[in-house]
Structure 1
Amino acid sequence: MEHKDYSPWRVKSNSSLKLRDIETLPSPKDLPTDEAWQSSMHKLGDKLNKLQGTLHAGKSKGLLLVLQGMDTAGKDGVIRSVFTHISPLGVRAEAFGAPSDLEKSHDFLWRIHQKTPVLGEMVIFNRSHYEDVLVTRVRGWVKKDTCEKRFDDIKHFESLLSDSGITVLKCYLHISKAEQKKRLQARLDDPHKHWKLQPSDFEDRQLWPKFAEAYEDALSATSTPDAPWYVVPADSKPYRDLFVADLLVQTLESMKLEMPKPLFDLSKVKLD
């Protein structure tokens, strides 16, 4: 299958990003049928599994995938769908909630740095260090100028990761307020999903414009050549998952991964 060009969804550094100008749902012709989705995800899953195996064996590079988005945008869903057929060896998902008292006594990146990939590892962040320039700003816990200083800290942090052999890929799952309403209602209607609901889900919905502005500033300020942001249309779950899977495969292929050389001369091995 041919790869798609995702450059139109890549956020330009220090641009005047307006999320309202980016569609949350692609045109009908771009929406995959169930059959096409299953076929494409199977092919991408095979590629991703092989690439991840090479990454794990080589232990010379690593990859960090950052997933951010409003509540119900599908961070958990992406992880389940995209990584279903991947060997668990060398793959790890980390979720970041409210910081503990110990974590709050350190700088805001302290708890994050401990969870970043080692060489040979792929790590997925379900929420991330960006919470400290998003929810903290919207809730008024830190001032806007503090967030702007943190943008610089984040860029230096991600540059350090890149210099250390870690490729950083960041995806903002772009969901509409109308689609979020449908997904929240579905959770309210399903007792098996009540555990997912928190008061903040409904409080944050009332602060939608402020969150949109905070995301626009954060994505624009921190999308760099070493750690780009992509805005992923997320109203369609199948389209969202294909987007992230294909983008991830392209990113891994661009890393030019190689299998390590054998530890000894295999030509001398003779099996009885």
Structure 2
Amino acid sequence: MKDIFNQFKITNTKKFELAKFDTDDTSGYEKDNAEELLADLIAETAKLQTELYAANNQSLLIIFQAMDAAGKDSAIAHTMSGLNPQGCQVYSFKQPTSEDYEHDFLWRHYKALPERGRIGIHNRSHYENVLITKVHPEFILKEDIPGIKDVKDINKKFWEQRYESIRNFEKHLTENGTAIIKFFLHLSKDEQKKRFLKRIEDPEKNWKFESGDIKERGLWKHYMRAYETAIKKTSTDDSPWYIVPADKKWFTRIAISTIILQTLKGMKLGYPVLPKEEMAQLAETKRILEKE
């Protein structure tokens, strides 16, 4: 089995090509013992989450981005299932509201950041502002940015500035105690087709399908270019992207859980050590209770 943590981590953006990542790779893992392995990973993660919560001086932000039907919702549900909900915050970002458009593009995401001691999960994120808006630049016009009155005004310099804003935003977060993991669930177009058909054929899954999904599917190549560029421009040592194969959901969950666990281990967590005075008070309290 391969080292998942390093295998899918983007460290050399100059040589990065999204097309070279296999969407159905399983790194040598077998489905037969996937459920047991996932349970072990979650149990170990839960212990570290308790330390993160107790220390209350760091936080973890986990970002999920993907094409439709890549399995973001189920991945979040399965990999976070054994954690203490008091220490987790999940936000699913939809289309910006009129209030959101009255602020800069990072405003609503900044409001949703995890507090110290907690794990924050963003289902879609500030990256929508360099993904869907890159494919549909007309959406940028809704932001009412000075100097941007027409799609023709949205040039290369505009996008470079937006990538820079994202890098600076994430750099600020990491410097202030928030570790960041960014997952792109890499789904093949063929697998998306299969999952779309299942949604259409299964009445219990009809609600997951929207007619607009087919139109966006027709822009697949444009989205892949947008993702590749965004990942190249924003994957850093402190805020890395991970390209996780998404064709086999059982492996996707193992990969995500492994990366989250390794990241928590790297945060050097631990329970807070009480001052001598408080330790003495605990000892006295123990003595009193034992005498009862």
Question: TM class by shorter-chain length?
Answer: over 0.9
Kindly tell me: are residues 184 and 246 of structure 1, through their superposed partners in 2, closer, same or farther at Cα, counting changes over 3 Å? same
Aligned partners of 1:193, 1:245: CA distance in 2, in Å?
26
| Shift in Å, 1:140 | 2.4
- Residue 128 of structure 2 aligns with which residue? 131
Q: Is the 8 A contact 1:60 1:165 kept in 2?
A: yes
Superimposed CA distance per residue, residues 28-53 of structure 1 (whole angstroms, 9 cap, x where no aligned partner)? x724223x111111111111111111
Kindly provide the amino acid, as one letter, of the partner of residue 162 in structure 1.
T
SS at match of 2:83: coil
- Residue 267 of structure 1 aligns with which residue? 283
Q: Is the 8 A contact 2:60 2:118 kept in 1?
A: yes
| Shift in Å, 1:191 | 1.1
Give the alignment partner of residue 52 of structure 1, picking from 49, 52, 55: 49
Q: Is the 8 A contact 1:3 1:250 kept in 2?
A: no
Kindly tell me: are residues 104 and 59 of structure 1, through their superposed partners in 2, closer, same or farther at Cα, counting changes over 3 Å? same
Count the aligned residue pairs: 269
Residue 42 of structure 2 corresponds to residue 26 of structure 1: no
Aligned partners of 1:106, 1:55: CA distance in 2, in Å?
32
| Shift in Å, 1:77 | 1.0
SS at match of 1:186: helix
Alignment map for 1:105-124 (pairs within 5 Å): 105-124=102-121
Q: In terms of mean alpha carbon deviation, does 125-134 or 139-148 score higher?
A: 139-148
Kindly provide the amino acid, as one letter, of the partner of residue 267 in structure 1.
A
Alignment map for 1:8-23 (pairs within 5 Å): 8-12=7-11, 14-23=13-22
- Residue 224 of structure 1 aligns with which residue? 236
Stretches of structure 1 lacking an aligned partner (at least 5 in a row): none
Kindly tell me: are residues 147 and 16 of structure 1, through their superposed partners in 2, closer, same or farther at Cα, counting changes over 3 Å? farther
Q: In terms of mean alpha carbon deviation, does 78-87 or 141-150 score higher?
A: 141-150
Q: In terms of mean alpha carbon deviation, does 255-264 or 90-99 score higher?
A: 255-264
Between Structure 1 and Structure 2, whose CA radius of gyration is higher? 2
Q: Is the 8 A contact 1:13 1:221 kept in 2?
A: no
Residue 162 of structure 2 corresponds to residue 150 of structure 1: yes
Q: Is the 8 A contact 2:31 2:251 kept in 1?
A: no
Give the alignment partner of residue 270 of structure 2, picking from 251, 258, 262: 258
Aligned partners of 1:13, 1:150: CA distance in 2, in Å?
21
Kindly provide the amino acid, as one letter, of the partner of residue 210 in structure 1.
H
Kindly provide the amino acid, as one letter, of the partner of residue 205 in structure 1.
R
Alignment map for 1:75-114 (pairs within 5 Å): 75-114=72-111
Aligned partners of 1:5, 1:232: CA distance in 2, in Å?
9
Aligned partners of 2:213, 2:160: CA distance in 1, in Å?
26
Q: Is the 8 A contact 1:13 1:224 kept in 2?
A: no
Q: In terms of mean alpha carbon deviation, does 237-246 or 146-155 score higher?
A: 146-155
Aligned partners of 1:144, 1:229: CA distance in 2, in Å?
25
| Shift in Å, 1:12 | 3.1
| Shift in Å, 1:136 | 0.7
Q: Is the 8 A contact 1:32 1:238 kept in 2?
A: no
- Residue 235 of structure 1 aligns with which residue? 247
Superimposed CA distance per residue, residues 154-199 of structure 1 (whole angstroms, 9 cap, x where no aligned partner)? 0000001001100011010000000000011110011111111223
SS at match of 2:133: helix
Alignment map for 1:1-12 (pairs within 5 Å): 4-12=3-11
Give the alignment partner of residue 140 of structure 1, picking from 137, 141, 145: 137
Kindly tell me: are residues 3 and 9 of structure 1, through their superposed partners in 2, closer, same or farther at Cα, counting changes over 3 Å? closer
Q: Is the 8 A contact 2:174 2:238 kept in 1?
A: yes
Kindly provide the amino acid, as one letter, of the partner of residue 84 in structure 2.
S
| Shift in Å, 1:13 | 5.2
SS at match of 1:101: coil
The two structures, once aligned, show a CA RMSD in angstroms of 1.7
Q: Is the 8 A contact 1:12 1:220 kept in 2?
A: no
